Structure 1
Amino acid sequence: MDFYGFYTGQEFEAYRFLGAQVQGDGSVVFRTFAPNAASISVIGDFNSWQGSDMHKIYDGNFWELTVPQVEVGSRYKFRITSQTGNTIDHCDPYGFGSEKRPHTASVVHSLDSYSFQDGAWMDRRGEGYQQPLNIYEVHLGSWQRKSDDPDDWYTYEELAQRLIPYVKECGYNYIELMPLAEHPCDASWGYQDTGFFSPTSRYGTPDQLRFFIDQCHQNHIGVIMDFVPVHFAVDDYALWNYDGTPLYEYPNTAVGRSEWGSCNFMHSRGEVRSFLQSAALYWLKEFHVDGLRMDAVSNLIYWQGDPGRGENRGAIQFLQTMNQGLKQRLPHALLIAEDSTSYSGVTRDVAHGGLGFDYKWDLGWMNDTLSYFQTPPQMRPQHYHKLTFSMMYFYQERYLLPLSHDEVVHGKATILQKMHGDYEEKFPQARALYCYMMAHPGKKLNFMGNEIGQFREWDESREQDWNLLRYPKHDELFRFIRDLNHLYLNHSALWQEDDREQGFRWLDCHQEERCIYAMERRSAKERLVFVFNFSNQTQDGYQLPVEGCTGLRLILSTEWEEYGGGVKRNEGFLPVLHNQVQLSLPPYSGLCLAVEGE
C-alpha cells in the first residue's frame, strides 16, 4: 500500500493491505489502522477467542499479526484497548465478511475464490450517455420473502433465479440494489453501515452475491449499488471511537452527528477518504458492480446538508478525488448522485471544476410532477407550469428521473395512492404519469412495487403485495408499465439525445385550461411525438402542430382496453394536413406516435 497516499487521501486499494489477507500457505495476515490504541489483539475461532497480540508496523499507526492455518469462514474481531484502559471488541473496518445480525464478528473471506463468467458484458458495458438506462430499484429483503418469519429471506443465489427473469420481463435493463454493506438494523434499510467492505450476510456469502451479479450480467442486466459515504452506524463495536478516539468521525457532535443520529465521516482526514475511496472501488472492481448511487450527496456538499451553513470544502474535495480516481481506474463505472440542492456542476468533469458524477437525481422534477398529479383536476390549470419548469434547467446537468423508495414511505403514500381521486380515477392517471415520465428527457428509475400499483407503503419487513395482480386494474397497470418499458428500450429517440437540446422540443405547452401537453423526442433514426391530456374531460378537436412529415402512426395509448382504458387498440396512420393532426384525447391519457414520411 502507498502509505503516503493513504494519509493524504489518495489511496484506492487499502483493502488489499488492511483487514484479513488470506495467504497462499493457509495463513492470514491481520492488519488494522488504529494510531491511538494502547494495545490490540486478534480474537477468533482460530484461537478460541482468547486473543493473540498484534504488533505495530511501519510508523506505529498500523498493527499486524500473522496467524497460521486459519480457515476461510472463520470469525474474528480486534480487541482494542484505548489509552484510557477501556477495551472493546471491534469488527474489522476492512473485513470482507460478517456474521448475520445480531452477531457482530467479521468473517475471513478470500477475494480470489470466485471466477466470474461475465466477460461479454464487461467488454461492452458503459457504452456512454447515448444508451438506455431504465432502473428497477430493489430492496432484496422485501421484494419477495420465503415466509413471514423476519429472518426468512431468499439468498442471493435464490434471488438470481427469481428476480432476474422478472426484471427482464418488465423491461428494465438495470437493477439498483439498496445498500448491501453490512448493517445491524433492518429499519435503517442499509443506510447506517458497520461493514463497508462486507456484503450483508442476511442473504448469503460474498461469493453468492458475486454469483447474483454475474447472473445479472449474463442476462444483460446491469447492477448499480447504493453507496453511503456520508455517515456510519453509532454501534460501539464498529467504526465509532475505533481506537479509543474519534478516528473516522468528528470529535464534536455539532457536525459529528447527522440528522439520522448516525456519525458523520470526517472527510477532511486523508485516512477517512482513503477508506471510503477504497470501499467504492472494492464494490466496482471485486464484485463487478456497474455503478454506485451515492446517497445524500447534499449532506456532503453543505454542512449537515444545510446551504445556510456553507460548503463543506473537505467533503467536496473528497467527492472530486474519489470520482476522478474511480473514473481513471474504471472509466465505464456509473456514478450517480442523490442531491436535492441547486449546487452547480454535480455532473461536470472534475477537471472543469465539477464533482464528476455521471448523473444526478432530478428531485425537482419528481416533486413537481407528483405534486401536479395530487392536485384536483379543476386546479391543474393554475399548476400547469409544474410539468414544464423542469425543461428550463434540464441541460445544466445530466439528470435521472427517480420515483424511488423515498416517495413511498413515512406517510407520503405510494405512487398510485398519490393520484387524485377515487380508485377508478387513480389508475388512468398513473398510466399517464408513467408515460409522461418516459417521454421526458432523462434516465429512469422506478422502485419495486410501483409497477403493480402498490397501495400499502413500503415496509422493509414485508414483501410486496403480489396478490394485487389478481385484481384486473393492478394487472392492467403492470402490463402497461411492462410494455412502456420495452417501448423505451426499443426506441432510441427516448434516450440517445437525453442530454442534448436537439433530442427534445415542446410542440405545445400553452394549453393551460385544457391541461394538454405535447412534445417531440428525436434521435438520429427516428422522431416520436407524445400528447397528454391531464384533465378529467375529453378534449375533442385538438389540433396538434407537427412539421416535416406526412403523418403519425399511433404506437401506444394509455387508454387501450388491454391496459384498463376504454379505447380499442388501433395502431392506425394519422395523416398530417397543413402541419396539423386533429386528435380526440380521453381524460387522463397519453399517446405515443411515430413520425412517418419525413
Structure 2
Amino acid sequence: MEKVLAHSLFSDFDISLFVSGKHFRLYEKFGAHLISVDGLTGTYFSVWAPNAQAVHLIADFNDWNKVSHPLNRRLDSSGIWEGFIPGVGKGEVYKFLIKGFGGEELEKGDPYAKRWEHPPKTASIVWDNDFKWKDKTWMNKRAKLNALNKPMSVYEVHLGSWQRDPTEPDRVLTYIEIANSLVPYVLDMGFTHVEFMPVMEYPYFPSWGYQITGYFAASSRHGTPQELMYLINELHKNNIAVIMDWVPSHFPGDAHGLYHFDGTHLYEHSDMRKGFHPDWKSYIFNYDRNEVRSFLISNAIYWLDKFHIDGLRVDAVASMLYFDFSRQPGEAATNEYGGSENLGATQFLKELNVAVYRDFEGVHTIAEESSTYPGVTRPVHNGGLGFGMKWMMGWMNDTLKYFKNDPINRRYHHYQLTFSITYAFSENFMLPFSHDEVVHGKSSMIYKMPGDEWQKFANLRVLYAYMFTQPGTKLLFMGNEFAQTHEWDFKNSLDWHLLEHAPHRGMQKTVRAINKLYTSEPALYEHSFSPEGFEWINADDARHSIYIYIRKGKKAKDTLIVILNLTPVYRENYRVGLPFKAKWKEIFNTDAKEFFGSGKHNKQALLPEKEACHNRDYSIVLNVPPLAATILKQEK
C-alpha cells in the first residue's frame, strides 16, 4: 500500500465558505470518501484541527501505526489536514491521531464519519451513503401532505425499547426488524408521522441518544446506515413522514469525541460559563465560531439530504438561547451588551432554518423550547427564529396539573384548561406528551390520572380527545397509546402484554379512533395555528367542570362541537348553544363501550330549538357522558 498522497476535495471557494460559516454541505468534503485518483482507488481523508501540531491516520490497515500515515496540512489558514491513501476501502476501521496544541496525543473518531464501531468500541469506519431509494412518490407529494394545514399526529419512538426480541430481551432490534413491525403498527394506528429519538451514534446507552459523538452516523446498535435508510423508505412508501431528534445544543466529553479535539476548545466554547452544561455535564457548542456553525448546519442538511428525513425536532433550544439557563445568579456569562441571550446561538438557529426551508421543500424544523422567547416560529425575515413549530410546554404542564386533580376539586382549577387559548396562536404550537413526561418518577400517563381503574382510563381517554381537538399539531410517546403502566424504561420493551386486558385494548382503540377522526375532519387541522379555527361556546361552567368549544374548518359544513365532561357525573338534558341552526349528530364519544366506557351515547339526531343559550339564539339538549368527550357534527 502506498503512503499518503497529496490530494484535496476542497476548492478555494469551499474554504472561503467554510471559514465564513456558510458551507452547509461539508459532509461532501470532510471525513472519509471512497474515490479514485489517477487510476488508483482508495480513500480520501480530511479533518479540521487548526491547532494541531500533526495529524496521522491510524487504522487496521497499518496496524495502528502512529507515524506511518501523516496527513498533509493545507497551506492556507483553514486548519484542514488531508490526504489520499490508495487501497483503503469500505469497511476500514480508523481514527485520527492528533498531536495537540500542547503536544499531547489524542485519538479521535472522525467527526464526519458515516459509520462507527458498535459501542463500547469507538473507532470510525470508512463507509458510503449508497442506497436505492423507492420513495419518489412520497417525496413528490411531501410538500402537500406535510404542510402546516394538514394533520400531524406524531408517534415518538425510542428504537432501543419500542420492542425487544422476546427470546433475547437484552438485544435491541435491527432497523430491518423495526421496519417489519413498526411500519404496519403506525399505519394501523393512524399516526401520520413518527419521530425517532436520536439515532446518531452515541456511546452511552442510558443517555437515550442525546449525548452524541458521531453526528453523521446512524447508530450501529441497530445496523448499517443503509438499513436505517430502509426503515425510512418503508415508512415513506406508506405515506408516513419521519421526524428525527437532533441535538445541536451539547455533546459529551468522551475522549474519542469532539471535546478538546485538537488540544484546544475547538467545538466547545473556551469560557466554561458558556461552554459547559451543569445539568448534563456536557459541553456546549461555540456558536460564535464560523466553522462550528458550518459543521452543525451541514449536519442538519445531511440528514435531510442523504436520509430523506422530513423534519428535525431540535432539542433543548432554550438552553442554547440563554447563558443563564440552569445556572445560579452570578454564575452565568453575558453577551457583549450585558444581556443573558446567546447571540451566537440565535444567529445560528436563524441561519439553520433559512438553509433548511430554502433547500428542502415540505420539511419542518420543530423547537423543543420552554422559555418565553418571542417569535420562535416567526419567519427570520420578520424577526423570528424561523422554526416551523414549537412544543407547547405550558399547555402540557397546565393540562397534566389539571388532570391530576380529583374531579371533585377540578371546579377550583377550571381555568387551567382555558388559559392556553389566550396564547395558543402566538406561535405554531405542537402539543406534546413526550418521553420526558413518563420518566424520573413522574409516573406513566395512566397513573397520573385520579380515581379507580375505570376512572383512570376514562380520564386518559378524555385527555387524549381534548388534546386532539385543541388547536396545534400532536405528539404522543410510544406506550401512551395503550396506557403503559410502568414508567418508560429504555432497557426493556414496552409492556405489549397489557393489550390482553380490556381497559388497555380500549385505550388503544380510542387512540386509533381519535387519529382517524383527526385526520378525516378538516375542522381539526385546517386552522391549527389560527384563531379562526377555534371558538368557545362555554368556557365558564366550573361548577360542572364542563367545557364546550367549536372547531372550524374552511367550510361551515365541517364545523364540530366538542363537549368535555371532566367529572364522573352523568349529565342528562344538558343544554348547549349552537354556532348555527342545524341538526346535529354525535360522531365520536370516548365513553363508548368498545373503548371500555359506560356506553352513554346520544343515538338520535339532536334538533335545534329556538331557545337562547350561551349567548346564542338556538340550542340543543343532550346527555353528557361521565369523564368523556362528546363530539357533534352537523347532520347532512
Q: What's the TM-score, normalizing by structure 2? A: 0.92
Given candidates 431, 454, 462, the residue that maps to 2:492 is 462
Tell me which residue corresponds to 2:631: 592
Counterpart-to-counterpart distance in 2, 1:571 and 1:494:
23
% identical aligned pairs: 40
**2:562 partner amino acid:** F
Work out whether residues 555 and 571 of structure 1, in 8 Å CA contact, stay in contact via their aligned partners in 2.
no
Counterpart-to-counterpart distance in 1, 2:126 and 2:516:
43
For the pair 1:427 / 2:457, whether they are aligned, the reply is: yes
SS of 2:209's partner is coil
Given candidates 520, 545, 551, the residue that maps to 1:515 is 545
Counterpart-to-counterpart distance in 1, 2:602 and 2:407:
28
1:236-247 aligned at under 5 Å gives the runs 236-247=255-266
How many residues end up aligned between the 2 structures?
596
Change in 2 beyond 3 A, CA 1:242/1:150:
farther
Counterpart-to-counterpart distance in 2, 1:62 and 1:182:
24
**2:301 partner amino acid:** L
Given candidates 547, 555, 565, the residue that maps to 2:579 is 547
Q: Which stretch of structure 1 is more off in the superposition, 303-312 or 448-457?
A: 303-312
1:289-322 deviations in Å (ceiling 9; x for gaps)? 0000000000111115259761111100000011
Following TM superposition, by how much is the alpha carbon of 1:104 offset from its aligned partner in structure 2, in angstroms? 0.4
Where structure 2 has 5 or more consecutive residues not aligned to the other structure, the ranges are 1-9, 333-339, 611-617
Tell me which residue corresponds to 2:132: 115
Tell me which residue corresponds to 1:556: 588
Q: Which stretch of structure 1 is more off in the superposition, 581-590 or 271-280?
A: 581-590
Counterpart-to-counterpart distance in 2, 1:567 and 1:549:
28
SS of 2:551's partner is strand
Work out whether residues 541 and 547 of structure 2, in 8 Å CA contact, stay in contact via their aligned partners in 1.
yes
Change in 2 beyond 3 A, CA 1:21/1:164:
same
For the pair 1:565 / 2:582, whether they are aligned, the reply is: no
1:17-32 aligned at under 5 Å gives the runs 17-24=29-36, 26-32=41-47
**2:46 partner amino acid:** R
Change in 2 beyond 3 A, CA 1:29/1:150:
farther
**1:123 partner amino acid:** N
Following TM superposition, by how much is the alpha carbon of 1:147 offset from its aligned partner in structure 2, in angstroms? 4.2
Counterpart-to-counterpart distance in 2, 1:304 and 1:155:
40
Following TM superposition, by how much is the alpha carbon of 1:535 offset from its aligned partner in structure 2, in angstroms? 1.4
For the pair 1:414 / 2:444, whether they are aligned, the reply is: yes
Counterpart-to-counterpart distance in 1, 2:408 and 2:187:
39
Q: CA RMSD in A?
A: 1.5
1:343-375 deviations in Å (ceiling 9; x for gaps)? 110000001110000000001110011110001
Following TM superposition, by how much is the alpha carbon of 1:241 offset from its aligned partner in structure 2, in angstroms? 0.5
Counterpart-to-counterpart distance in 1, 2:495 and 2:326:
37
Q: What's the TM-score, normalizing by structure 1? A: 0.97
Counterpart-to-counterpart distance in 1, 2:92 and 2:166:
29
Counterpart-to-counterpart distance in 1, 2:208 and 2:97:
28
Following TM superposition, by how much is the alpha carbon of 1:150 offset from its aligned partner in structure 2, in angstroms? 6.8
Work out whether residues 549 and 595 of structure 1, in 8 Å CA contact, stay in contact via their aligned partners in 2.
no
Following TM superposition, by how much is the alpha carbon of 1:434 offset from its aligned partner in structure 2, in angstroms? 0.5
Tell me which residue corresponds to 1:126: 143
Tell me which residue corresponds to 1:72: 90
For the pair 1:289 / 2:289, whether they are aligned, the reply is: no
Tell me which residue corresponds to 1:185: 204
SS of 2:94's partner is strand
Where structure 1 has 5 or more consecutive residues not aligned to the other structure, the ranges are none
Work out whether residues 561 and 569 of structure 1, in 8 Å CA contact, stay in contact via their aligned partners in 2.
no
Superposed structure 1 runs of 4+ greater than 4 Å apart: 147-151, 306-309, 568-571
Work out whether residues 346 and 355 of structure 1, in 8 Å CA contact, stay in contact via their aligned partners in 2.
yes
SS of 1:548's partner is coil
For the pair 1:214 / 2:226, whether they are aligned, the reply is: no
Given candidates 165, 171, 176, the residue that maps to 1:146 is 165
1:188-246 deviations in Å (ceiling 9; x for gaps)? 00111001101110000001111111111001100000000100011011101000111
**2:619 partner amino acid:** Q
**1:480 partner amino acid:** T
Q: Which stretch of structure 1 is more off in the superposition, 59-68 or 299-308?
A: 299-308
SS of 1:489's partner is helix
Tell me which residue corresponds to 1:12: 24
Counterpart-to-counterpart distance in 1, 2:581 and 2:317:
45
For the pair 1:344 / 2:374, whether they are aligned, the reply is: yes
Counterpart-to-counterpart distance in 1, 2:75 and 2:216:
24
